[in-house]
Amino acid sequence: MSKNSKLLTGPINLNNPITVQVLGICSALAVTVKLEPAIVMSISVIAVLALANVIISLLRNTIPSRIRIIVQLVVIAALVILVDQILKAYSPDVSKQLSVFVGLIITNCILMGRLEAFALGNKPWESFLDGIGNGSGYAIILIIVATVRELLGSGTLTLPAVGEIKVIPESFYQFGYENNGLMILPPMALIVVGIIIWVQRSKTRELIEEN
Amino acid sequence: MKLDTNGNLYTFIYAAVMVIIVAAVLAFTAIKLQPKQENNLKVEKMQNILQSVGIQSKVENAENLYKKYITKQIIVNTKGDELEGDAFAINLPAEAKAEVNSRKLPIFFAKLDDGTEKAVIPLTGKGLWGPIWGYLALESDFNTIYGVVFDHKGETPGLGAEINKDPFELPFKGKTLFEGNKFVSITLYKGGKGASAAAGDTNHGCDAISGGTITSKGLERMMKEEWLNNYEAYLAKNKK
């Protein structure tokens, strides 16, 4: 049991896919301008990662090792297309907001990373937990980065089903406060992720290397 | 008997079976979901047309509101003559690629609660990453803009994607397409908020989006030489 719960909680802090393994940075950069796409993207990644992990884990003894990467890619791509089609049919609004990002899940290195490193050698249930855990670790960082960027860059927070909330009051702007346009540009995503890594490392003893 | 999962034959068969299964699953879902997806697109188009004349609709009531307010749909050609056909079904991007003289250009007419008539012209163009489109509602003088709706497939969130937000769309209201008898349409000015006012172009100028230069340029071309100019003959003929 404790081993299983470690599968869930490990990736959130000690083994976080973004800040520790430094995987999946590409989408952390692309979808974090606003909070809403970041949240929907997180949910989609968790779903696709958990399902792909289970499928690969079920097939793990039959997959020819020479084409295993191709098999993994086909499974991921098929799942992503399914998610995209279902969103288009049942939730066109969300699908429109995510637009190209759903397709970008295919290129998310966390997926290939987990399939190759975990699902190929573990049972389905453990792989499912590992998928949920890693997806959540990814989601947390994405949501923190998106909150910082949207708050400082646009002065708002956008939540699914609620819409845009103005957080910085109008009076601030009258006193000369200005949104930081730099926050909207891609480099700031990397800098924010860098700051998160820095804070996490200095707070967590286990992550500090000896030399 | 234990399977040799590294053998050539096994690998080939495995790959073939996998591809067939995946293809079947995807084809099945695509066909099953297609009617629903197409209906979503139709409803979205109705909602966009309604929104351009200032009527907010929900997915559930869009079809009824559309029937109520949109009184007439016509097709014109680039010479300004009316043609036969179903205006709603016209595929704009295909028309934009067609021979200039054979283009079919839809126009939708709306009659609002206050009795005024508006003409809605659908727009199509290219942004930075993909297609952009919109609906331009004109007053009955076929010159003054009553409202616009823009949308896009995948412009950069927070930058080019802002074309579908009120701060960008609202300033179009009241601008005119013609200067005297000359078709000038709308020009977008770089330089942030107030750039068009600073340039002194109050009748035909709007502010471009900072950081969304290529999307803004594409939108401007859509309002000028790449699409809206197709309607010039019809508009000039009916202009009051």
What value does the mean pLDDT of chain A take? 85
What is the rounded distance in angstroms from the CA atom of residue A130 to the CA atom of residue A147? 26
Structure tokens at A118: 């975990």
What is the rounded distance in angstroms from the CA atom of residue A185 to the CA atom of residue A182? 5
What is the rounded distance in angstroms from the CA atom of residue A135 to the CA atom of residue A110? 8
How many distinct structural domains can be found in chain A? Answer: 1
Residue A164 predicted with pLDDT over 80 = no
pLDDT tens-digit profile of B124-154?
A: 999 898 899 999 999 988 899 999 999 888 7
Going through B62-202 in order, the beta strands assigned E by DSSP cover 70-76, 82-83, 105-111, 117-126, 131-138, 145-152, 178-179, 182-183, 187-189
pLDDT tens-digit profile of B194-238?
A: 788 888 888 888 988 888 889 999 999 999 888 898 888 888 888
B14/A64 touch (CB, cutoff 8 Å), yes or no: yes
Q: Where exactly are the structural domains of chain B? A: 45-238
Nearest to B11 among A31, A67, A86 (CB): A67
Residue A127 predicted with pLDDT over 90 = yes
Sequential DSSP letters for B170-198: GGGTT-BSEETTEE---EEE-SSTTHHHH
State the pLDDT at residue A49.
92
Burial of B136 (C-beta count, 10 Å sphere; 0-12/13-18/19+)? buried
pTM beyond 0.80, yes or no: no
B29/A86 touch (CB, cutoff 8 Å), yes or no: yes
Which residues of chain A have a CB within 8 Å of the CB of B11? 64, 66-67
Contact status, residue B109 vs residue B117, Cβ threshold 8 Å: yes
A29, A82, A120: best mutation site toward chain B, by most B Cβ within 10 Å? A82
The rounded Cα A93 to chain-centroid distance in angstroms is 21
Nearest to B26 among A62, A81, A88 (CB): A81
Residue B1 predicted with pLDDT over 60 = no
State the pLDDT at residue A51.
93
What is the rounded distance in angstroms from the CA atom of residue B88 to the CA atom of residue B42? 9
B5/A65 touch (CB, cutoff 8 Å), yes or no: yes
Nearest to A67 among B15, B44, B153 (CB): B15
Q: Is the ipTM of this complex over 0.90?
A: no
Q: Does B83 touch chain A (CB under 8 A)?
A: no
Largest CA distance in chain B: 88
Q: How confident is the model at residue B3 (pLDDT cuts 50, 70, 90)?
A: low
Task: Please state the φ and ψ torsions of residue A151, each to the nearest 5 degrees.
Answer: -65, -50
A89/B40 touch (CB, cutoff 8 Å), yes or no: yes
What is the rounded distance in angstroms from the CA atom of residue A202 to the CA atom of residue A196? 10
Question: B179 to chain A nearest CA, in Å?
Answer: 36
What is the rounded distance in angstroms from the CA atom of residue B209 to the CA atom of residue B162? 8
B158/A154 touch (CB, cutoff 8 Å), yes or no: yes
Q: Does B109 touch chain A (CB under 8 A)?
A: no
Task: Kindly state the percentage of chain B with pLDDT values over 90.
Answer: 27
What is the rounded distance in angstroms from the CA atom of residue B112 to the CA atom of residue B139? 11
> Which residues, numbered 113 to 152 in chain A, qualify as contacts with chain B under a Cβ-Cβ cut-off of 8 Å?
none
Burial of B67 (C-beta count, 10 Å sphere; 0-12/13-18/19+)? exposed
> Which residues, numbered 166 to 195 in chain B, qualify as contacts with chain A under a Cβ-Cβ cut-off of 8 Å?
none
Q: How confident is the model at residue A29 (pLDDT cuts 50, 70, 90)?
A: confident
Query: Distance of CA A57 to CAs A47, A123, B17, B23, B67, Å?
Result: 15, 6, 18, 21, 53
Which residues of chain B have a CB within 8 Å of the CB of A186? none
Question: B161 to chain A nearest CA, in Å?
Answer: 10
State the pLDDT at residue B122.
92
A154/B153 touch (CB, cutoff 8 Å), yes or no: no
List the single range of A15-29, A73-87, B2-16, B76-90 with lowest mean pLDDT. Answer: A15-29
Q: Does A155 touch chain B (CB under 8 A)?
A: no
Task: Kindly state the percentage of chain A with pLDDT values over 90.
Answer: 24
- HSE-up of residue B232 (Cα within 13 Å, Cβ side): 17
State the pLDDT at residue B150.
92
Task: Please state the rounded mean pLDDT for residues A135-140.
Answer: 91
Residue A56 predicted with pLDDT over 70 = yes
Residue B19 predicted with pLDDT over 90 = yes
Q: Does B71 touch chain A (CB under 8 A)?
A: no
Q: Does B15 touch chain A (CB under 8 A)?
A: yes
A82/B44 touch (CB, cutoff 8 Å), yes or no: no
In terms of residue numbers, what domain contains A81? 2-205
As a 3-state breakdown, chain B gives helix, strand, coil percent values, each rounded to 5, of 45, 20, 35
For residue B159, what is the nearest residue in chain A, using CA coordinates?
A: A184
Number of neighbours of residue A91 by Cβ within 10 angstroms: 14
State the pLDDT at residue B136.
92
Structure tokens at B73: 């749909």
Nearest to A33 among B153, B158, B210 (CB): B158
